[in-house]
Amino acid sequence: MMNRLFLVTAMSAAALLAQPQMPMPMQGPPPTQGQPQDDPPSRVARLNWISGDVAFQPATVDTWSNATVNYPLTTGDHLFVNPGARAELHIDGSAIRLSANSNFGFLNLNDAIVQMSLNQGSLEIRLRELLQNDTFEIDTPNGAVTLLRAGEYRVDADPDRNATMVTVRSGQAQMFQDGNSVLLAPHQTVWFQQGAGPDVRPENMRDDFDAFVASRDATEDGLPRHEYVPQSMVGYQDLYAYGHWVLDPGYGQVWVPPVGPGWSPYSTGRWAFVEPWGWTWIDEAPWGFAPFHYGRWARLPGIGWAWIPGEPRFRPVYAPALVGFIGGGGFGVSVGWFPLGPREPWIPAWGASRVYIDNVNVAHVTNVNVINVTNVTYVNRQSVTVVSQADFAAARPVGAVAIRMSPAQLQSAQVLGSGPQVVPVRASVAIGATRGAPAISARAVVARTPPPPAPVSFDARQQMLAQNHGVPLKPSQVAQIRTQQPAAVVSRPAVQTMRPAMPASAPPAPMNRPAATAPVNPADRMNSRPPGAPSVGTQPVQTRPAQPATTPQPATPAQPATQPRTAQPPAAPASTQPAAVTHTPAPTDSAPRPAAQPAPPAQRPAPAKQTKAPPRGKPEEEKK
């Protein structure tokens, strides 16, 4: 069956790429149309930069470890950014930055939705594109926020005052509180708190976290914008900050990494078990994401190792590692791998659908004429890295434990395909040094979109993973474990799905803002409350009547760009997630606080003009 699937895939990809080459939008089928439920998502988040102490909790374990750069994050993964630290993630071409004392997680991440939780702290999002079928949602303890356009946004969640602020620098957002909703136009901030309706005011004055975000944006904006790779490829920015591009007569523009003699792809990093994809390469180089999850590698005369990105007109599909595994014969309990070369197809070990295999290979497989996988003449077959199965499963750095094999041993080994047939252990999932749980708020977040159920623990999965010889479990197998072992889910803070909101009010007209004043200390962001907000002190909170957020307010004629998009009714309420875990409250010395004096936004470099991206769905109407 695998041989027949390979032949059909190769021929369909070759037929598609054999069509006349002409300028056209990036292509790719809408993810929710025709793609089976068992297929993993085509996109992933990358933890691409950290400063200071950042803790990571994978979806299927209940312990924390030190965060690792280049680790791919997906549904159920959580990060905690400790005091004095910061972190940055990329999804497609968009950036998410986290401030100190931030408790962040992915409630859902697939081809149709990016649903994040922010239990405490601050995040800023630079959303480069928003396709019509995409949902981009941030859930906080006081309500949910949906981003409606590409733009720049900030969300602050303060556990001490049980309040959330949402600031729209550019774009448009909609805030949902239980029974209420309001639309936000550019340069507006909404404060919403338990027991009080939303309060909209001019955007908060920028602080040092905003300055940090602006500096990161300026660095990205200063990179050259080439057409060699699509800007929805995760990690493309590093290809211009490191290495260089060379025009090859056979492959077009190829990227040459900044490495020394003796280096080969997939030799300086480690393996981790990241479901739903399974064995995943985590490279240790700062540029080590895009070249190991997209494209192919080749040794070129006079150049050395070069990365071939594939056709940029196709939307990139994430792969855990584009390698072929070898074993058997004289290998014993060792496992080896080599990088796939140009036009060599990658066939997932978990038995993916034809739709997925076509999509992951279509940018690279242009002329394959074989009967089965064993007939492929792999051009990089001799560039093999080998470790013991124990070191492989324990996620030990490959450079320190690699085994030297003789040419005869390598020649006698068999190509196993894309699966190493190694059963993962707990250390395969939590690959960083184990640490104690951070002091985080246990408040439940409120979701507009019902998220998936809490993940099943790795310990409960391990027996079935052994039966699968290390191949990741299908959704039906995970559901079977959930039914048989109800207590096997990983404990997480509760998620509450809100009741349907009333129709959203139009964005209020921006108020006149006073001239800029001296910068406000970030520690004072919430010392002063916004106009009409409830006072906070040692006495019981006295709240004012909720403002009628559902009363439509006409937009100012001079601002047509702020007209609201028609709100879609939210999904029906779903049952809540497991009960929250009680934690020690987080320190508050750097908690976000609203500015006492609003001010105009600081100047930020204008984003480079983006090319229109393709369907996952039809792009949203651009802001005029």
Q: Identify the pLDDT of residue 490.
A: 84
Q: Across residues 178-198, what is the average pLDDT?
A: 86
Instruction: Give the residue from 212, 198, 190, 31 showing the smallest Cα distance to 126.
Output: 212
Angle between helices 458-467 and 475-484 (to 10 degrees): 120
How many helices and strands, by DSSP H and E, does the chain display? 11, 30
For 130-154, write each residue's pLDDT tens digit. 988 899 999 999 999 999 999 999 9
Q: Identify the pLDDT of residue 350.
A: 86
For 313-322, write each residue's pLDDT tens digit. 888 999 999 9
Give the CATH fold of the 39-227+430-455+490-624 domain. Jelly Rolls (2.60.120)
Domain range annotation of the chain: 2-18+228-429, 39-227+430-455+490-624
Tokens 């090859």, residue located: 248
Q: Identify the pLDDT of residue 580.
A: 32
For 399-417, write each residue's pLDDT tens digit. 999 998 888 888 888 888 8
Give the residue with greater pLDDT, 619 vs 73.
Answer: 73
Q: Are 506 and 554 in contact (CB under 8 A)?
A: yes
User: What's the chain's average pLDDT?
Assistant: 77
> Does position 544 have pLDDT exceeding 80, yes or no?
no
88: pLDDT confidence band, cut at 50, 70 and 90? very high
Q: Could you give the CA distance from residue 13 to residue 600 in angstroms, rounded to a whole number?
A: 52
Q: Identify the pLDDT of residue 98.
A: 98
522: pLDDT confidence band, cut at 50, 70 and 90? very low
339 burial (CB, 10 Å; 0-12 / 13-18 / 19+) is: buried
- Name the most confidently modeled range: 16-20, 53-57, 240-244, 485-489: 53-57
> Does position 111 have pLDDT exceeding 50, yes or no?
yes
> Does position 373 have pLDDT exceeding 80, yes or no?
no
With pLDDT > 70 as the criterion, what percentage of the chain qualifies? 71
Q: Are 580 and 442 in contact (CB under 8 A)?
A: yes
For 10-68, write each residue's pLDDT tens digit. 433 333 333 333 233 345 443 444 456 689 999 999 999 999 999 999 999 989 999 99
- How many residues are there in the chain? 624
Q: Identify the pLDDT of residue 329.
A: 62
CA distances from 552 to 178, 203, 509, 530 (A): 18, 21, 12, 22
